[in-house]
Amino acid sequence: MLHEEEVLSDLQSSLYIARCVELGKEAGIHYLVMQLLGDNLSELRRTTPTKRFSLRTVSQLGLQMVESIREMHENGYVHRDIKPSNFCIGLPTATADDGDGPGDGDAP
């Protein structure tokens, strides 16, 4: 989690990254409190009557997703877990996971 704290701290000026509300360590356990966001894109898609987004929606969301990834790359980070459930609705769309958690090839 220390790497995740560093990434979030470096990217707090981005419009596309969830805000870090509080970082801390209590009784030897690190914690991270992040901004509450809306549904992720995977959940939101499932709530639509057709279980699909319109072409216009896909275009708008896609541009925001690409922009958020571009900003991460410009700051020296690579998101290794890009998927709809890691993008949450807000204005604009925000990335909820920096892609560097367990299951990304790193030891937990």
Query: 62 with 70: CB under 8 angstroms?
Result: no
Q: Tell me how many degrees the CA angle 16-19-22 measures, rounded to the nearest 5.
A: 160
Per-residue tokens: 38? 């809306």
Catalytic annotation, pick one of 10, 81, 100, 104: 81
The verdict on whether 81 is a catalytic residue reads yes
Q: What share of the chain is helix, strand, coil (3-state, %, to 5)?
A: 35, 20, 45
82-to-22, 69, 97 alpha-carbon distances in Å: 25, 9, 9
Q: Which residues are catalytic?
A: 81
